[in-house]
Amino acid sequence: MSKNYTSLVEINAALQQGDVTVEALVNGYLAQIEQFSHLNAFNEVFGDEAIARAKAVDAKLQAGTAGKLAGMVIAIKDNICYKGHQVSASSKILEGFTSIFSSTIVERLLAEDAVIIGRTNCDEFAMGGANENSYYGPVKNFADNTRVSGGSSGGSAVAVQAGMCHAAIGTDTGGSVRQPAAFCGAIGLKPTYGRISRHGIIAYASSFDQVGPITHSVSDAALLLDVMAGPDDYDSTTIQSPYIPQGDVIPAKGTKKIAYLQEALDSPGTDAEVKQMLTDNIAKLKAEGHAVEPVSFQYLDYLVPTYYILATAEASSNLARYDGVHYGYRSPNATDLQSTYKLSRSEGFGKEVKRRIMLGTFVLSAGYYDAYYAKAQKVRRLIQDKTNEILQQYDFIMVPTAPEPAFAIGMEEKDPVVSYLHDIFTVQASLAGVPAISLPAGNNSKGLPLGLQLLTKQFAEKELLEFSDYFLKLTTN
């Protein structure tokens, strides 16, 4: 592409001055997608359709009737339904399945004249933190092709990182927008649970799943939140009170009280350069007059076990519908109903998805329900209460997004629990249902991006975005 635009504000200025057209933008992104196809970020590119839509948006701009997102070319994760387009959640079991309706968020994005350029690769059914569990193969990090992109929204993050689209939409269950954004040097926002409709999003764990944008600028994250958020009659878990738009993001003024988790600095599992990044940013904020204080979070070691017990239980229930009867993959070797169920599911699901279904079925089974699932629900409440207690005293909680930068592709852990521990700093916001954002925090000595995460109170996205904008201006100047 001739120019890398970091925000829609820049694109709008270029469109008004006649320096570029939406069609030219789309053609530039399509060239990038072709050039970097080895990164495996896209499962499908809607090339001709995106060009046709871009021409229509250009005509609207000429007529002065274009929507808020005119000029924004976005990619959507392959678990988001778009009428007349395939959606597979990167799983063999949904290979070739075409959606008969659009998700609420796709309808809202298109209504404001966004151009959707394609569907991005992800961990199968959004289960994973490395984008190595996809039926279509791993997504490679643009900063270092031997490294993972992060997951599960790895394709969305790399598409933004490598300039294959302007912004992308992912889903965040336990960190699946924030962690890949951190690994790819982008901004990843997980809004308050229920802020954005889940209607038309292929479910993984329904009490955690939340849609979020991956962008280069805070203003774009705020704008996409404004377009996608709000009540939806098709999703009873959305927040029913009317959504008040964020509007223009004005960098936060005045000093703030910020807590950081002492355990994040003390943990032997946190990479030395990640600890140094956190320490440096604490010093920068203190120098600006902010109160930055350590707090103890005694439930840190319980975050990952609690999350995985509850998420796998919900996955076991949600994925029961993929049975080889209604839609999707059906085993050619099946001979009767029972073998249809058994073979279609065992052949159609990947290893990690089967592992999580079995874990979830186990914790919900008679004799183990009270010992695992019911206990995990109680611990979730303790985590939520403690998080809210800290946020009553502080404006934000600050932690690294991930305990280490992007790790090598194929670093298959013999013990899957070790790979689950990569989620240690992201699952807190998911369990508590609070908004969180991952912000780019420079690179380590090997040139790999690092991410810093901020959590705040439920429904306080505006304050979170405004402080994020201030923080990025402070740390990147």
Answer yes or no: are the C-beta atoms of 79 and 44 closer than 8 Å. Answer: no
Per-residue pLDDT tens for 85-136? 999 999 999 999 999 999 999 999 999 999 999 999 999 999 999 999 999 9
Per-residue pLDDT tens for 31-82? 999 999 999 999 999 999 999 999 999 999 999 999 999 999 999 999 999 9
d(CA 101, CA 279): 48
Sign (positive/negative) of CA torsion 237, 126, 70, 118? Answer: negative
Kindly report the number of other CB atoms within 10 A of residue 294's CB atom. Answer: 13
β partners of residue 465: none
Q: Output the pLDDT for position 412.
A: 64
Answer yes or no: are the C-beta atoms of 70 and 60 closer than 8 Å. Answer: yes
Amino acid at 204: Y
pTM (2 d.p.): 0.97
462 belongs to a structural domain: no
325 belongs to a structural domain: no
Q: Output the pLDDT for position 326.
A: 85
Per-residue pLDDT tens for 279-318? 999 999 999 999 999 999 999 999 999 999 999 999 999 9
467 belongs to a structural domain: no
The CA-atom distances, in angstroms, between 11 and each of 14, 137, 220, 460 are: 5, 33, 11, 28
Retrieve residue 215's tokens: 């962008």
Using alpha carbons, select from 264, 291, 221 the residue that is nearest to residue 435: 221
The parent domain of residue 132 ranges over: 8-228
Q: Output the pLDDT for position 122.
A: 98
Per-residue pLDDT tens for 151-181? 999 999 999 999 999 999 999 999 999 999 9
Q: Output the pLDDT for position 421.
A: 84
Instruction: Map 201-220 to HEC letters.
Output: ECCCCCCCCEEEEEECCHHH
477 pLDDT above the threshold of 80: no
295 belongs to a structural domain: no
d(CA 192, CA 85): 29
333 pLDDT above the threshold of 80: yes
The structure tokens 């402070």 sit at 474
393 belongs to a structural domain: no
Q: Output the pLDDT for position 1.
A: 47
58 belongs to a structural domain: yes
Alpha carbon distance, N-terminus to C-terminus of the chain: 25
Residues 6+ apart with CB under 8 A from 56: none
Q: Output the pLDDT for position 414.
A: 60
388 belongs to a structural domain: no
Q: For residues 319-337, give the mean pLDDT.
A: 93
Q: For residues 143-153, give the mean pLDDT.
A: 97
Catalytic positions, please?
Answer: 77, 152, 176
Q: What is the CATH number of the domain that holds 206?
A: 3.90.1300.10
For residue 253, give the 3-state DSSP assignment: coil
Per-residue pLDDT tens for 401-453? 999 999 999 886 666 777 888 899 999 999 999 999 999 999 999 999 999 99
Percent of the chain with pLDDT over 90: 92
84 belongs to a structural domain: yes
Q: Output the pLDDT for position 413.
A: 64
d(CA 168, CA 157): 7
Q: Output the pLDDT for position 327.
A: 85
Chain centroid to CA 62: 34
Number of domains in the chain: 1
Per-residue pLDDT tens for 20-38? 999 999 999 999 999 999 9
Q: Output the pLDDT for position 37.
A: 98
Per-residue pLDDT tens for 211-270? 999 999 999 999 999 999 999 999 999 999 999 998 889 888 899 999 999 998 998 889
Average pLDDT, the chain: 96
